[in-house]
Chains A and B, each alone.
Chain A
Amino acid sequence: MFKTVKKYLQKDFSWIPSENPTHSYPSLTGKLLLRHEIPLEDEIVDHLIAQTILTKVTSIESYPWAYRCRRCGNTKSYMFAKMPHATCGQTCVYCRFCIQMGRVVACEPLYYGSSGFEWPLHEHPCQWKGELTVHQQKAADELVALVRTGKGEKLVWAVCGAGKTEILFRSITEALKNGKRICLATPRTDVVRELLPRLQKSFPKVNIQALYGDSPDKAGDAPFIIATTHQLLRFAHAFDVMVIDEVDAFPFHNDASLHYASERAAKPQASMIYLTATPRKKQKRRIRSKDLPVVFIPQRFHGHPLPVPQLKLTPALHRYLQKAELHPKILQQIAHQQQTPRQLLLFLPSVKMAEQIAEYLKERNYEVRSVHAEDRGRAGKIQAFRKKEYRVLVTTTILERGVTFPSVDVYVIDAGHVVFDEAALVQIAGRAGRSPDDPKGDVIFYHVGKTDEMLDAVDSIHYMNRLGRKL
């Protein structure tokens, strides 16, 4: 009884077979799949099971008081349901949480593919010729050491625009030289799309695959995988090096299933690297209690300090927003800003408001476009903004991170709204001054009263700037 309770409360991966025989099926290695996701004939599958290259595992753990889906780790009772299952003739439990990726039914097993595939060794995989700053160098050294030793964790706390990706190059090189498998996971599809060409350019001879919801590649049979965290639901004990970018970002930070999947996707002896500019409270607590080793990069790669947000009180803000208009003071500021060569990023708390304000500015003859999460043409609009085809981009928090525009000013309208938490505000402020040619940028938070989140964000930026000066 005590054992069952313990097993339920802890994340227990002892059901994954520890013996991993070598084989020649890269698309099965380190995978946790449903039968219809394995594109092989029944006979071949039976043959692979006999050789323990594939292992059938129970898909849903059953406890007297609850269930747990082994693919997504879901234990919420309202996310399980029963149905009369025509295939087996009985009433079966299925998981509703990860049903988007194909239904997991209790009577059908999951197939674990042995992670024994041997990946090619690369002699000199990295073609990147850039220089690292002192801070970057120090972080890169520590990460290489971690990859060499294997098991361990490390958080890289780097300001926005520190050049996080470049820090990874040496540890990636180290892993590829030893035939280790790497996964770079991030919560956001946009980031995966942006990273793939950059990494392919730096590692031209390595087979790099990008996996996301509607990616052209679906096989997941490469030694180096860039994926959204959702894709990790199909992996188990697959990676020797696991990098999670933007650990604090939505939806990763508040979705237990993604934590479950990313822990399972790493091998028991894997090196875990977390990257973030704005750690959440939970991570900060672990850092303070010395439970999570951390390395700081408090300065941007161009060496200039982060722009500090100005807080501007505009008491009538909400009254104007309700009429789908902007406060005359803000309008004046925008008119003034538009005289300068910099573009303008305008953040609003909701999709509806973003669209209304874009419309409002359009009437005033500004070159404006708006983007939000459900926007089909998002990628195109962002690309056009980067190419300076128009002047003002009105957006929701969707663009708070992962996108880089060389020279912009950033205004947040109604910064006291609940969607703008500390992490979001720090990230938004981090959009300004990204390029060495224009390392400054105005960041203005318009509000109707300072919130703790705003003050914390400003404090955190000051703190990093101070650290950067000291070193």
Chain B
Amino acid sequence: MAEEPADDARRAALRDRGRRWATTAGSILLALLVGAVLMIVSDPDVISQYAYLFTAPQLALGASWTKVAGAYSALLAGAVGSPAALAATAWQAAPLIAAGLGVGIAFRAGLFNIGAQGQAIWGSIAAAYVGFAWSLPPVVHLLVAVVAGVLFGAVWGGIVGLIKAKTGAHEVIVTIMMNFIAASSLAWLLLTPAFLRPGRIDPLAPPIQPSAAFPVIYGQLHVGFLVALVAAAIVWWLMERSTIGFAIRAVGSNASAAATAGMNVAGTTMVTMAISGALAGLAGVMYALGPGANAVATPLSLGLVGSVGFDALTVALLGRSRPVGTVLAGLLFGGLHSGGLAMQSLAQTPLTLSTVLQALIVLFVAAPAIVSALIPKVRAPRRPALVGGEA
């Protein structure tokens, strides 16, 4: 019997897709606008010009324009303005993509992995330790370090899955607490002899050996970025074409029906959280083994992974938990970060503006009704829900 796909349904789906893109673009625009206002009102030099708004409006508007245009053009240049900038963006994007994929997989199983932060911390600890403490042949060293980081992330995530599966504890609370435990563990480890630099007592681990670092491709672009892309491809296959993905999606959408159909919900939960943790651990590995601007990887320290776990959540949300979307969202936010650094040094506008923009973009995307109210041409998609198995 010939399949006749419902034309209406297909058209509606296409229209929805268009609206989602429009909403995302609108959200970015609105976030930039809010960011501009924030820049203006918080800059005393600019705001002082507003005293003359009615007598000499060109002063106020000119100063505002200079400020905003300067900052945003530095942001743009720092993100995509040159091959070096693109490489820096890729450096920032790699861990965001990896962790974003992890958070996204959990979302599709109906789980909130707020614990990517802790999993990334453990990933960075393990990878860095193997990187500086062990001596292995070049390629092997890198592989072992990566596997160690991924494994530790998987274990830290898997523990959450285990607790959730065995006791029904809500993973949000457990992962938040696990983040703190991971951070405290790192703080403690950095003061133990195994992690101290000889003769030093400050919490900064020795640098990793060059044999354990990701090879550099160009500028800050290193092999880790390719690893992130490969991870995205694997995640796509896993979710769309494999029995594991089928089970993860089924459990995420309706755990009770999945159980009734003979699927092992507890096992799927554990596997999902372990995979999710592994990907977050991979993000930690990127920070530990990825050569930075000076072609050397940053040694393990308290803030090495930054806020990658929480950034990953925004990446997964913006990417709608789909691998391609996650890669694009990771690149966008990676660009915001690398551009933010340029903005800070070139336009004297603090890097933290990137965080504000990132949060605002996700807020607007999550509430498309606001975007369509403010930008009349943009219509909200039918199903704006960002989270949940098949949303």
A binds B: no
The interface of chain B, by Cβ under 8 A from chain A, is none
